[in-house]
Structure 1
Amino acid sequence: MTQFWLEAQLNVDTSRGPLGDAAYVWFDTLTRALTPAERAELAGLPAATRINPLAEGPQGEPGKLYGLIEVDRSIGGGYPTTERRHLSEEGLEWLRGELADLPKKVTVWIGRFTENGFLGGRLMFAGAWPLRKTPGWLVLDAQVPADRFTDPGFGRAEQQRCLRAVRQAADRLNPSFGQIDYWRDKGNTALERWSTGLARDAQLAIPQTRERLRGYSWLTIASQEVAEKLGGAAAVAATGAFAEVEPLAEGGLWLLATEDFADYGMRAAEAVFHAVAPALPPGMPRQRDNFGEPPTFVVIADPFVVSGPRCS
């Protein structure tokens, strides 16, 4: 059975302030909200670490907790260089300094060593990277196995933990766009994956997110500018498409389609599509072969036709 992953993603720009500061807020918020006990256990470790995900052989005591910060940069000629530190207070202080000159990518993850001493299942995984094509924009993401959200025993609690963490970050960062949906290659939304031409390129779509959405999903976060295009919180709530319509602390809207992720399917997606159509990019999506890919809930309709000239 294929294991799919869910991704929480926020897009932020320099209107909020330095992108390095935004990245630090993301990592600090998620580790405190999702893995507070693990962060406390790791806090006293020195910054330096010998853990290397690319190394062969065992790297730690079976069952023991580990936390890792990876900072990737490119040096002359484009060759990548990676530095690693423990996810400890000293390691996070080192990371804060590294973020002053934004790297190519930063990842933070927590897990436990397997019974053979190898790096094991991840308890928390988050990343941050600036856009290559358009300076001034940052992608923040975090990933969890989809079955954590759908487990009949603890799925709802896991959903709420993740939503609370993302909400805390969104209230501080004023994102231009955000979502929780199945992870797709290159950070694309489901709509981008099924679009054609330039509309499929997240690198080009993200700089437009103060004016239009990149897609829609179980959780959709809209910028203040997009919220105004949709008529504001009251108008969006009146569509009946969302279980939650709430303003974010620094502007924008938090739009949760269903209380339970398991209830988000094509019918719910159709309601969300019609509610946000005025802020979607025009064009007819093209359904693709979904074999081996996660579920995709995209309405095959042109939002320009549905909503009229408002989405041009």
Structure 2
Amino acid sequence: MLATLASTHSGTTSVRSTNLRVAVNSSYSGKSDLSHGLVLELTVHSQDFGQLCETAYRWLTQGAQVASVQQELDQLTHDRPVSKVGFDSVSDVASRREAGDLWGYLSVAPVESLNVLYNPFTSRALEWLRESLTKRPESAGMDVGRYSDSGEISDSLIRLAVTFDEDLPEYVMLSYFVDEVKLVDSSTAAIEHERLLGVMEWACREFNVVFGHTSYDRPDRSTEHERFLRGPAPWRNTPNWASMLRGYSWLTVASADVVRALGGSGSLRNSGAFVEVAELPCGSYFLQATPTYAEYHDERVLSVYQALQPALVEGEFRRPSAAPGQPPTHMIIFDEDR
């Protein structure tokens, strides 16, 4: 997927067609009766806050356009009013419409307020978004979806976000969210893989991505590996991207120093754990375990773990919670499984 990245750096938002043909693996061990959200999170590093702001802005605008593989953004209406300070409610920017119509909005969570501010996803609101990002909010995002049969806002078709952490002033986290079911269901898997892999390819080509992972979405933004480790909060591991990995997953981005410590890209290719090992323009490496998400379980997870284990952040493992509704544990290797 990303083999040509190192030689195709570009400032445009277009990506080549992936022509994905997805065969859903019926033995997918992670399926459950509950739907769980997945997040692709990319850690971008820069000592220049202005550059981090520009990265965040481009992720929420150009990145959203890349993910709009069925031209959803082009179908949005632009007759919504725009507020210079932001609206207090989603209903102010995406009120009831006809079933099947598209809705879209931008959101910003300022540091100094418990409120979230909104504006419609239109060109007229982009100046508000850019200015809001310069104030280093806790987070900002964009959502696009279709109105339900009753004319109400339904689940997002495209959802991207950025997160700033006051304890990590040199970083911005770029997130792309997708429902796990959409990646394994035969009616949606192809288009959802095209969205996710397309936006990841674009971002890895454009930005200084020093770490990346695909994990279940949780408030502390932990990887699957960190989820079961006792010890410091996950954010404390972020600055150590040059010497360790916060986790391993279906799609992983590792720094050049980490890959070198693991024996180099050739060693990772020869491990048999990855279908793709590609150097990025920023020097990091993109590692893809299987062609599709549905294939990433059991022996494939173990192979990735064994290939990356020497670089993983260390700690004492704890067993999964017995509480109902928790995401499955098929993407993590426990001591007895090694």
TM-score using structure 2 length: 0.80
Partner AA of 1:11 in structure 2? T
Which of 223, 226, 232 aligns to 2:264? It is 232
Find the partner of 1:134 among 136, 160, 168.
168
**Is 2:106 the partner of 1:69?**
yes
Say which SS state the counterpart of residue 134 (structure 2) adopts: coil
Separation in structure 2 between the aligned mates of residue 197 and residue 300 of structure 1, nearest angstrom: 17
Measured in 2, the distance between the counterparts of 1:280 and 1:209 equals 10
Unaligned 5+ segments in structure 2 are 1-32
Deviation at 1:21, TM superposition (A): 1.1
Could you tell me which residue of structure 2 aligns to residue 29 of structure 1?
62
Residue 287 of structure 2 is aligned to residue 255 of structure 1:
yes
Q: Which residue of the other structure, out of 80, 83, 98, is the alignment partner of 2:132?
A: 98
| 1:153–1:42 CA distance, 2 compared to 1 (3 A) | closer
Q: Say which SS state the counterpart of residue 80 (structure 1) adopts.
A: coil
Relative distance call for 1:102 and 1:119 in structure 2 (3 A) is same
- Could you say if the C-alpha distance between residues 94 and 236 of structure 1 is closer, same or farther in structure 2, counting changes exceeding 3 Å? same
Q: Which blocks of at least 5 consecutive residues in structure 1 are unaligned?
A: 307-312
Greater displacement, 253-262 / 83-92: 83-92
Contact 1:239 1:275 in 2 (8 A): yes
1:267 and 2:299 aligned: yes
- Aligned pairs for 1:171-190 (under 5 A) are 171-190=205-224
Count of residues in correspondence between the two structures: 297
After superposition, the Cα gap between the structure-2 partners of 1:276 and 1:16, relative to the gap in structure 1 and judged at 3 Å, is: farther
> Residue 266 of structure 1 contacts residue 298 of structure 1 at CA under 8 Å; is this kept in 2?
no
Asked whether the equivalents of residues 64 and 160 of structure 2 are also in contact (C-alpha less than 8 Å), the reply is: no
CA displacement, residues 155-207 of structure 1 (integer Å, 9 cap, x when unaligned): 14421331121111111112111112322332111111100011xx2221112
Structure 1 match to 2:276: 244
Shift of 1:67: 0.9
Q: Distance in 1 between the 2:335 and 2:285 partners?
A: 24
Matches within 5 A, 1:28-177: 28-35=61-68, 37-42=71-76, 44-45=78-79, 48=82, 53=89, 59-63=95-99, 64-75=101-112, 79-177=113-211
1:126-183 Cα distance to aligned partner (Å, 9 max, x none): 1111123232222211111111110124414421331121111111112111112322
Paired residue for 1:19, among 34, 46, 52? 52
Kept after mapping to 2: 8 A contact 1:27/1:108: yes
Equivalent in the alignment of 1:310? none
Query: Does 1:292 find its partner at 2:328?
Result: no
Report the CA distance shift for 1:147/1:39 in structure 2 as closer, same or farther (over 3 A).
same
> Over residues 105-143 of structure 1, what are the superposed CA-to-partner deviations in whole Å (9 max), with x where a residue is unaligned?
101101122233322121111111112323222221111
Q: Please name the residue that 1:222 is paired with.
A: 254
Q: CA deviation at 1:100?
A: 2.1
**For residue 59 of structure 1, what is the amino acid of its counterpart?**
S
Contact 2:68 2:195 in 1 (8 A): no
Q: Which residue of the partner structure matches residue 312 of structure 2?
A: 280
* Preserved contact between residue 250 and residue 296 of structure 2 (Cα < 8 Å): yes
1:12–1:174 Cα contact (<8 Å) kept: yes
Q: Which amino acid aligns with 1:102?
A: R
SS at match of 1:94: helix
Separation in structure 2 between the aligned mates of residue 145 and residue 193 of structure 1, nearest angstrom? 19
Measured against aligned partners, the alpha-carbon deviations of 1:208-253 in whole angstroms (never above 9, x if no partner) come to 2232111001111112222222232212111110011111122111
Identify the structure with the greater helix proportion.
Answer: 1
TM-aligned CA distance change 1:48 to 1:257, over 3 Å: same
- Report the CA distance between 1:51 and its aligned residue: 7.3
Higher alpha-carbon deviation: 285-294 or 136-145: 285-294
CA distance in 2, matches of 1:238, 1:16: 37
* 8 Å contact kept, 1:180–1:218: yes
Is the alpha carbon distance of 1:98 and 1:43 closer, same or farther for their aligned partners in structure 2, counting shifts above 3 Å?
farther
Percentage of identical aligned residues: 26
1:39 and 1:88 in contact (8 A); partners too: no
- Of residues 256-265 and 276-285 in structure 1, the stretch that sits farther from structure 2 once superposed is 276-285
Match of 1:207 among 239, 259, 263: 239
